Each structure stands twice: as structure tokens, then as C-alpha cells.
Amino acid sequence: MNVLAQSLDAGALELNLAVCAGVALAVMLLTFVIGTVKGLHRIVDVAWGIAFAAVAVTTWFLSAGYGDDGRRTAVALATVVWGLRLAAHIARRGRGHGEDPRYARMLARAPGNLTFYALRTVYLLQGSLVWLVSLPVQAAAYLPRSLDALAWAGLAIWAVGLCFEAVGDRQLARFKADPAHRGLIMDRGLWAWTRHPNYFGDFLVWWGLYLTACATWQTAALTVVSPLVMSGLLIKGSGKRLLEAHMAQRPGYAAYTARTSGFFPRPPRRSGDGATSR
């Protein structure tokens, strides 16, 4: 850490990492208690965004006097806006619904005590991922350098990602709210360009936030695990892969996948009858 110490206070960052691990754990433990009492573990998805916001706010307070005020404030605000928007959206979407099928299937296979299995495989795992993925947010706050071109580019990518995610979520919510669309596949707007505009938005958000921590090659190397892990989760983990497995048997979904990009946006392929949507 000697070379890194030339650019930021390594000891202060290490303390921040430890405190934020405790903050992420506290958010997930509180959510675990609520989810267990309610018998509804899907609320952990709401806590996911809240935990990121909590880590960002904690980092902003702890980094005062160590990092550049402009950089630390911009990164904290970007993370809080993203996290709270996501939490609010998931809370609205899940209101009045039962357990998420993903968690129902996972917990149905629980060996032994269901409560402790849920604690380990749902809440503690997500708390650990919050801490790991938020590494650039924590490191960027301790960089004493003002926002540079790379950081501004990162914030621009974050903004595009946030808009992509929010617009995609809004388009899907409006589509599903229309009774005439019951049983149909959403293939309009951004959903005609990618089957997962919300996940692609998240992808951009975290690669953008990563760039804000790249003022030195040391912080870039130390935090690159964050966007890589998030990308893996979105594409190969609990995001795209599980959702598509759940949707695979829906009428019309095979045709939708044939004409629509699986992740990175592109114009939809034209179907045999010359149409791009049903």
C-alpha cells in the first residue's frame, strides 16, 4: 500500500472499508428480521439499493478531510440516487405480491433450518456483495484529486445507465398495467432493443462509478473487481440468466429472443413477416 499511500490515506480507507462492511451487514440483518417476521424474503431486493446508499453516505461522512470534496460528493450522490430509485421501484413493483419465485425455489431446497439457510444464502450473501461492488464508491471518496476527464466520463456513463434503467422500468410498468397486455411479452421501446434494459442500465452505472475511482492505476486495479462482479451477476448470475429461465415457456418468448439482443442494445431483427413486434 506504500505507493497507494502517495495518492490517498490508505489507513483511512481501510477503516472505511471495515465500517462499511458493518453498515452493509446491519442493513441486511435488519431486513432479515423484517423478512422473517413477514414471511416474505423478497424484501431483500428493496434492501439491496438501500444498503448501497447507506455505504455511500457512510463513506461520504468518513472521508471528510481526506478526499476531494467534489469527487466524494458526486460519487456519493450518484450512488444514493441510483440505490434509492431502485429500492423505490422494487418496493412499488412488489406491493401486494407474495414471495418472489426465485426465493421460493431457493428456500424450498433448504437443508435443515429454513431461517438460518435464508440468512446465509440470501441476506449475508447480498450484504457481502454490496460491500464488494461498492469498492469504487469507497475508494473514489478518498482520492485527493479533483474530478478529471475520466471521472466526468464515468459520471456521464452513470447518467446514461440510470436513464436507461429508469426508462426501461417505467415502460415495463406501464405495459403491464394495461389489462389488454396480459400474457403478452413486452417488446416495445427499449425492450425492442435489448431484453434487459434495466440490467444493461445497471451495467453502465457500475462501470461508470468504477471510472470515478481510476485517478490512479492502483485504485483502478484494486476496484476493478466491482464492475466485473456486477457484470457477472447481471449477465450470468441472478439477473438475466434466471429471469430468462423463468420466462422461457411464455408464449411468444422464443420469437422475442430471436429478434432482440440478449443484453447489449441493438436494433431489433425483423421477423419473417416484416414486423418487429406483435
Mean pLDDT by groups of 10 residues along the chain of 278 residues: 60 97 98 92 94 98 96 98 97 84 77 85 94 98 96 98 96 91 88 92 97 94 96 80 67 84 87 38
Burial classification of residue 276, based on how many CB atoms lie within 10 Å of its CB (0-12 exposed, 13-18 middle, 19 or more buried): middle
In this prediction, residue 245 carries a pLDDT of 65
In this prediction, residue 8 carries a pLDDT of 82
Please give the Cα distance from 47 to 33 (Å, whole number).
12
Domain residue ranges in the chain: 2-259
User: How many Cα atoms are found within 13 Å in the side-chain-facing hemisphere of 8?
Assistant: 30
Please give the Cα distance from 33 to 25 (Å, whole number).
12
Please give the Cα distance from 193 to 262 (Å, whole number).
9
Please give the Cα distance from 24 to 129 (Å, whole number).
9
In this prediction, residue 5 carries a pLDDT of 43
Q: In which residue are the cell numbers 417476521 written?
A: 37
In this prediction, residue 278 carries a pLDDT of 30
Length of the chain: 278
Question: Is residue 138 within 8 Å of 55, Cβ to Cβ?
Answer: yes
The answer to pTM > 0.85 is: yes
Three-class secondary structure assignment of the chain: CHHHHCCCCHHHHHHHHHHHHHHHHHHHHHHHHHHHHHCCHHHHHHHHHHHHHHHHHHHHHHCCCCCCHHHHHHHHHHHHHHHHHHHHHHHHHHCCCCCCHHHHHHHHCCCCCHHHHHHHHHHHHHHHHHHHHCHHHHHHHCCCCCCCHHHHHHHHHHHHHHHHHHHHHHHHHHHHHCHHHCCCCCCCHHHHCCCCHHHHHHHHHHHHHHHCCCCCHHHHHHHCHHHHHHHHHHHCCCCHHHHHHHHCCCCCHHHHHHHCCCCCCCCCCCCCCCCCCC
Question: Is residue 244 within 8 Å of 176, Cβ to Cβ?
Answer: no
Please give the Cα distance from 255 to 244 (Å, whole number).
13
Burial classification of residue 184, based on how many CB atoms lie within 10 Å of its CB (0-12 exposed, 13-18 middle, 19 or more buried): middle
Q: In which residue are the cell numbers 418487429 written?
A: 276
Q: What angle do CA 77, 78, 80 make, to 5 degrees?
A: 60
In this prediction, residue 273 carries a pLDDT of 37
In this prediction, residue 271 carries a pLDDT of 57
**Distance between first and last Cα of the chain:** 57
